[in-house]
């Protein structure tokens, strides 16, 4: 068990967060309110995910922290430094395959997750209904009654107006046929990875003080009309061909577009580790 | 394994820390002399109102540590409160205090706008209210001696700790105020989940930690017609409250020290719409750590507005408890506002792809639509 | 309380049975009911200041029938509609709705989710103000789609088709499908409300002063439409109005309310030709 000086949070906080997590796993997709603690990291920078990581990590765990798919992004580095300092015996890693806990902002690794791993998400807006209803008390009623019509109407209006649902990330999805969740600002590309996943996905919204979860092997269905299928990002060039990563040549990953000084763009894998793995980790030596 | 291949970010953070430290130590502009390094004691005593703001918003009565945080935060009150609050969140709970009677305040300042004179008297105390806001040239040349001389001239020692009757007691005795009901249990908002509707003790706790400017904005909106509140400051008190803690062994209450607080009670005339019976005077209550009159008054007005909203439905922003409580925390608001500086290129790429797909479909089926 | 009236349609059990329906706003006291109502000439209790919006309201509604409720403002007729639409809960009384299987559902006992489900699938409402019945932030089609979506429809094309059919049926041009209601005329907004209310194929349609404030020619068109729909769809309706002409045109049977109580009920023609209660007599006289 966690020692008193392990993991920054006091034992009372750890117990409360773990209890909230158990409830979240037992009622998939339900947002469990909890007394989010003040962390030495600013609100909005991942305090929700951080509290989850600190509550579940144990000595011997291997933590990977990514922001926008990158391990060396400034915020990821900052969070990782904090976690490693607060959790003696927890080893930082960048390889997805080696991690036991992965804390992320905005991406799910391309490499399929394996049983034994835990995904932890930093969540800015825990409630998918926030885009149609600002009042939380009203949103709680809507969730309780399964009253999602206004969200569906937004989809209808979008398809009429834009021929497409105008939600590119934070795409709402129904979990286990009941609650609709905001899967955090992951792109549509990542949403199918939640469906019947091998691992638990834990979502922490520190500022909004909610925890929710998708247990392993649980159905996660993007909200979509039967005859207007949900589509992920296409990454096609002007000729309609799928773009490839300029570095590892993959044509089945989420890509970053990097504008070049002379015009035009370079496209490469967003998931840095997936790209490195495909190249056989050229920088590892 | 055995590798920790962290690139890029680590070096960038180290460089940022260095640059920040240089700015703190006086690298503001080449021509600007940094002066002596600030002593924490100097911040604590000479920037007392800033310290008081920080202990209030940081949520812990530790003025010296607040001064330290202010120095560390280059004088930014939000950042300083944040440092203090993050430190606070790790502290163990020593115990729970009993309800404290603020009639026992050792008064520094105490006024009532409701009556010409009140039992115990009006005590103007140190107030900026009647100052002419003109630059004082003598501040350009001060010395420790001039400081000592000013302190020695403190007009009469602060009033003795005495039972100052609360102004509203008289109104209550006359039956103009509702009798004090069963007091609701205090809520530790740092340990209890926030679920709306929230009880008044939790609302008050949130407001006591709220950002002064945010509370002021909401309160000001009620004064300007976004809510009909006709408030009178029944009493504003600033003073030192004897803090009593239960003895760890005997459980008996023991005075453990004093805390400077500001407390305000406003009264609003005419009663509720739904409550039967003759009209009554209604109360609003505000209190915070330190000397911060704006915050205590604004909080009392917000408290009154929120109770009105609770009773007959919110008609104005400041009467909506979710709207007010979720938006007055300066530390949370500041954090989220600043988080937009973090990279968002994954979500932006998905936005672009979404728009590209939408435009492609438009091009395919023209303007006709489904 | 007896409930023996409405005998003409005894062959079939009623779709809706309302018994002892009472709604008191405020704390209420033992003297509320005796101190208010028709005889007292007021609906606010002088003892506890509670408002007795309605008390002891009984009636039945048969499938396919239109029942009129007339009375001036403050008579409680709109409270009846709010309670029937499950927007509010009665202080006392029962509202029973017969299901397709012959079983009865006590609507006052449903929890929030069940009330919503029932409202979404089996009830429809048209308000006097289109701002209550329509969402002005979305298109006409979206307003209809919202009702279909709450009732479980998930096919986009099918919703578009159904919306177009409903627009055609309520005499709104197809080209207005994707327009916002704010761009519609008052009469067209009322017809869109009707289209929206009918979208899921409800068994009971509530009409709350639907023609009040409209031009006479626009009124006539809407009343015609309502009668045609009743014939075609066989949907039962409760039409609340302060206009005797509307009641005469739409309703086979009518209830007259005053100060929260039913003061007279019967066949509409009979009430209009031979009013019994002084208040009804006054209403009929003033309408002449």
Which of B193, B231, C109, B176 has the alpha carbon at shortest distance from A209? B193
Chain C residue whose CA is closest to B274: C26
Name residue C147's beta-bridge partners: none
Burial (Cβ within 10 Å: 0-12, 13-18, ≥19) of residue B88: middle
What would the pLDDT profile of B9-41 be if each residue is shown by its tens digit? 788 888 999 999 999 998 877 667 778 899 999
DSSP C59-76: EEE-TT-EEEEE--TTSS
Q: Are strands A118-122 and A265-269 parallel, antiparallel or unpaired?
A: unpaired
Selected residue with higher pLDDT from B241 and B10 = B241
Please list the active-site residues of A.
Answer: 29, 245, 248, 269, 275
Mean pLDDT of the residues in chain C: 90
d(CA A238, CA C12): 68
Q: For residues B169 and B280, state if they share a domain.
A: yes
- The answer to whether B54 and B32 have CB atoms below 8 angstroms apart is no
pLDDT of residue C182: 93
Return the residue matching tokens 């208040």.
C279
Interchain pair C26, B276: CB under 8 A: yes
Angle at B38 between CA B36 and CA B42, to 5 degrees: 120
Contact residues on chain C for B274, CB-CB shorter than 8 A: 26
For C:163-222, CB contacts with B below 8 A are: 178
How many CB atoms lie under 10 A from the CB of residue A264?
A: 7
Q: Taking CB atoms and an 8 Å cut-off, how many pairs form between chains B and C?
A: 9
pLDDT of residue C1: 34
Which of A203, A189, A184, A173 has the alpha carbon at shortest distance from A274? A189
Q: Is residue B119 part of a domain?
A: yes
Residue B162: pLDDT band by 50, 70, 90 thresholds?
low
Q: Which residue out of B271, B312, B370 would a mutagenesis test of the C interface target, given it has the greatest number of C Cβ atoms within 10 Å?
A: B370
pLDDT of residue C2: 36
Return the residue matching tokens 């008050």.
B204
Q: Is residue B96 part of a domain?
A: no
Name residue C19's beta-bridge partners: C94
Q: For residues B202 and B68, state if they share a domain.
A: no
pLDDT of residue B369: 45
In this complex, which of B274, B276, B369 lies closest to C178 when CB atoms are compared? B369
Chain C contact for B2 (CB, 8 A cutoff): no
Name the token pair of B269. 């005339």
d(CA C19, CA A279): 77
- Least confident piece of the model among A45-49, A179-183, B325-329, B341-345: B341-345
Q: For residues B64 and B131, state if they share a domain.
A: no
Instruction: Compute φ and ψ for C137, nearest 5 degrees.
Output: -85, -10
**DSSP 8-state code for residue B67:** H
Q: How far is CA B268 from the centre of its chain?
A: 23
Q: For residues B42 and B112, state if they share a domain.
A: no
pLDDT of residue B156: 61
Contact residues on chain B for C49, CB-CB shorter than 8 A: 276
Q: Are strands C261-267 and C104-106 parallel, antiparallel or unpaired?
A: unpaired
Q: For residues B75 and B118, state if they share a domain.
A: no
Chain B contact for A212 (CB, 8 A cutoff): no
A91-94 own/partner pairs: CB under 8 Å, 24+ apart: A91/A61, A91/A62, A91/A63, A91/B1, A91/B4, A92/A62, A92/A63, A92/A64, A92/A65, A92/B4, A92/B6, A93/A62, A93/A63, A93/A64, A93/B1, A93/B4, A94/A64, A94/A272, A94/A273, A94/B4, A94/B5, A94/B6
pLDDT of residue B7: 60
d(CA A55, CA A7): 7
Domain boundaries, position B276: 103-328
Q: For residues B28 and B125, state if they share a domain.
A: no
Q: For residues B27 and B142, state if they share a domain.
A: no
- The answer to whether C196 and C145 have CB atoms below 8 angstroms apart is no
Which of A245, A208, C6, A163 has the alpha carbon at shortest distance from B329? A208
Question: What is the complex's ipTM, to 2 decimals?
Answer: 0.87
Instruction: Compute φ and ψ for B325, nearest 5 degrees.
Output: -65, -35
Contact residues on chain C for A180, CB-CB shorter than 8 A: none
> If residue A16 lies in a helix (H) or strand (E), which one and from where to where?
helix A11-26
Contact residues on chain B for C178, CB-CB shorter than 8 A: 369
Q: Name subunits touching A (3+ CB pairs < 8 A).
A: B, C
Where b means 16+ CB within 10 Å and e means fewer, B331-360 reads: bbbbbbeebeebbbbbbebbbebbeebbee
Q: Side-chain half-sphere of B174: how many Cα atoms within 13 Å? A: 8
pLDDT of residue A191: 97
Q: For residues B80 and B227, state if they share a domain.
A: no
Going from the N-terminus, what domains does chain A have, and what CATH number goes with each? 3-131+168-222 (3.40.50.11310), 237-285 (no CATH)
Q: Is residue B296 part of a domain?
A: yes
Q: Is residue B51 part of a domain?
A: yes
Residue B157 has pLDDT above 60, yes or no: no
Give every residue of chain C whose pLDDT is below 50, as ranges. 1-7
Mean pLDDT of A120-148: 94
Judged by phi (left if over 0) then psi (alpha if -120 to 50, else beta), residue C49 lies in left
Chain A residue whose CA is closest to B339: A44
Of B61, B89, B117, which closes a domain? B89
pLDDT of residue A148: 94
Residue B368: pLDDT band by 50, 70, 90 thresholds?
very low
Q: Is residue B359 part of a domain?
A: no
What would the pLDDT profile of B88-115 be if each residue is shown by its tens digit? 988 888 778 888 988 888 889 999 998 8
Interchain pair A156, C145: CB under 8 A: yes
pLDDT of residue B85: 95
Q: For residues B123 and B248, state if they share a domain.
A: yes
Chain C contact for B274 (CB, 8 A cutoff): yes
Q: Which residue out of A32, A43, A104 would a mutagenesis test of the B interface target, given it has the greatest number of B Cβ atoms within 10 Å?
A: A43
**Cβ partners under 8 Å of residue C44, min gap 6:** C36, C50, C51, C52
Total domain count, chain B: 2
d(CA A8, CA A40): 10
Interchain pair A156, C149: CB under 8 A: yes
What would the pLDDT profile of B247-274 be if each residue is shown by its tens digit? 888 888 899 899 999 999 999 876 555 5
pLDDT of residue C10: 56
Residue B73 has pLDDT above 70, yes or no: yes
Residue B275: pLDDT band by 50, 70, 90 thresholds?
low
Contact residues on chain C for A227, CB-CB shorter than 8 A: 155-158
What would the pLDDT profile of A167-177 be if each residue is shown by its tens digit? 999 999 999 99
Q: For residues B297 and B236, state if they share a domain.
A: yes
Which of B262, B261, B308, B260 has the alpha carbon at shortest distance from B284? B308
What would the pLDDT profile of B48-59 be if each residue is shown by its tens digit? 999 999 999 999
Question: CA of B309, closest CA in chain A: separation in Å?
Answer: 14
């Amino acid at each position: 068990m966690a020692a008193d000086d392990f993991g920054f949070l006091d034992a009372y906080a750890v117990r409360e967060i773990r209890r909230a997590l158990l409830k979240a796993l037992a009622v998939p997709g339900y947002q469990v309110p909890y007394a989010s603690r003040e962390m030495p990291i600013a609100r909005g920078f991942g305090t929700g995910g951080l509290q989850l990581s600190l509550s579940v990590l144990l000595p011997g765990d291997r933590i990977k922290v990514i922001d926008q798919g990158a391990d060396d992004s400034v915020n990821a580095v900052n969070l990782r430094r904090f976690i490693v300092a607060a959790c003696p015996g927890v080893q930082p890693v960048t390889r997805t395959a080696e991690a036991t806990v992965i804390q992320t902002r905005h991406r799910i690794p391309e490499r399929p997750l394996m049983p034994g791993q835990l995904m932890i998400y930093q969540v800015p807006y825990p409630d998918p209904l926030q885009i149609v209803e600002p009042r939380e008390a009203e949103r709680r009623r809507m969730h309780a009654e399964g009253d999602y019509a206004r969200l569906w109407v937004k989809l209808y209006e979008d398809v009429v107006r834009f021929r497409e649902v105008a939600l590119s990330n934070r795409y709402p999805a129904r979990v286990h046929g009941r609650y609709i969740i905001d899967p955090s600002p992951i792109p549509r590309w990542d949403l199918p990875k939640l469906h019947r996943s091998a691992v638990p996905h834990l979502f922490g919204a520190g500022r909004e003080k909610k925890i929710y979860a998708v247990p392993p092997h649980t159905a996660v269905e993007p909200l979509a009309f039967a005859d207007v299928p949900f589509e992920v990002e296409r990454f096609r060039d002007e000729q309609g061909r799928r773009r490839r990563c300029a570095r590892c040549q993959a044509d089945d990953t989420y890509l970053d577009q990097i504008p070049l000084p002379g015009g035009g763009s370079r496209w490469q894998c967003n998931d840095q580790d997936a790209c490195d793995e495909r190249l056989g980790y050229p920088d590892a030596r | 394994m055995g590798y920790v291949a962290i690139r890029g970010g680590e070096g960038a953070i180290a460089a940022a820390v260095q640059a920040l430290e240089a700015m703190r130590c006086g690298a503001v502009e080449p021509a600007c002399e940094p002066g002596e390094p600030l002593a924490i004691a100097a911040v604590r005593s000479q920037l007392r109102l800033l310290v008081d703001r920080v202990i209030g918003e940081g949520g812990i009565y530790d003025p010296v540590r607040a001064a330290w945080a202010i120095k560390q935060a280059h004088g930014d009150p939000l950042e300083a409160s944040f440092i203090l609050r993050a430190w606070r969140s790790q502290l163990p709970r020593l115990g729970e205090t009993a309800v404290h009677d603020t009639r026992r305040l050792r008064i520094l300042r105490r006024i009532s706008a409701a009556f010409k004179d009140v039992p115990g008297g009006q005590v103007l105390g140190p107030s900026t209210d009647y100052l002419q806001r003109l630059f004082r040239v003598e501040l350009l040349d001060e010395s420790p001696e001039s400081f000592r001389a000013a302190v020695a001239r403190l007009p009469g020692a602060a009033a003795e700790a005495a039972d100052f009757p609360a102004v509203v007691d008289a109104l209550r005795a006359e039956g103009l105020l509702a009798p004090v009901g069963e007091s609701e249990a205090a809520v530790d908002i740092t340990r209890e989940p926030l679920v709306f509707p929230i009880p008044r003790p939790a609302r008050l706790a949130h407001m006591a930690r709220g950002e002064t400017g945010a509370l002021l904005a909401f309160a000001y909106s009620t004064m300007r017609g976004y809510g009909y509140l006709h408030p009178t400051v029944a009493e504003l008190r600033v003073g030192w409250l004897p803090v009593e803690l239960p003895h760890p062994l005997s459980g008996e209450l023991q005075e453990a020290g004093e805390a400077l607080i500001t407390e305000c009670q406003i009264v609003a005339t005419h009663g509720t719409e739904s409550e039967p019976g003759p009209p009554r005077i209604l109360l609003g209550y505000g209190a915070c750590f330190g000397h911060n009159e704006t915050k205590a008054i604004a909080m009392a007005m917000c408290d009154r507005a929120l109770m009105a909203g609770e009773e007959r439905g919110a008609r104005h922003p400041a009467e909506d408890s979710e709207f007010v409580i979720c938006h007055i925390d300066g530390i949370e608001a500041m954090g989220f506002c600043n988080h937009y500086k973090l990279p968002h290129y994954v979500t932006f790429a998905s936005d672009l792809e979404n728009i590209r797909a939408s435009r492609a479909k438009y091009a395919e089926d023209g303007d006709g639509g489904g | 309380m007896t409930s023996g009236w409405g005998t003409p349609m005894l062959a079939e059990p009623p779709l809706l049975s309302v018994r002892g329906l009472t709604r008191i706003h405020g704390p209420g006291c033992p003297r509320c009911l005796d101190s208010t109502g028709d005889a007292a000439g007021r609906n606010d209790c002088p003892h506890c200041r509670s408002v007795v919006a309605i008390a002891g309201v009984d009636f039945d509604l048969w499938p396919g029938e239109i029942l009129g409720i007339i009375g001036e403002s403050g008579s409680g007729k709109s409270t009846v509609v709010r309670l029937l639409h499950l927007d509010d809960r009665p202080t006392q009384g029962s509202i029973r709705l017969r299901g397709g299987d012959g079983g009865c559902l006590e609507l006052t006992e449903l929890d929030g989710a069940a009330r919503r489900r029932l409202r979404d699938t089996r009830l429809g409402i048209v308000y006097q103000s289109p701002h209550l019945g329509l969402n002005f932030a979305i298109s006409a089609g979206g307003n209809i789609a919202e009702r279909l979506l709450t009732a479980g429809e998930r096919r986009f094309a099918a919703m578009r088709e159904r919306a177009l059919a409903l627009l055609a049926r309520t005499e709104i041009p197809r080209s207005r499908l994707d327009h916002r209601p704010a761009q519609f005329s008052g009469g067209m907004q009322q017809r869109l409300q009707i289209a929206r209310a009918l979208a899921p194929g409800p068994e009971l349609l509530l009409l709350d002063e639907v023609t009040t404030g409209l031009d006479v020619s626009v009124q006539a068109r809407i009343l015609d439409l309502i009668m045609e729909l009743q014939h075609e769809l066989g949907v039962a309706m409760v039409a609340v109005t302060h206009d005797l002409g509307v009641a005469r045109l739409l309703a086979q049977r009518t209830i007259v309310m005053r100060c929260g109580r039913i003061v007279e009920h019967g066949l509409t023609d009979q009430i209009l030709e031979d009013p019994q209660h002084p208040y009804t007599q006054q209403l009929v006289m003033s309408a002449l």
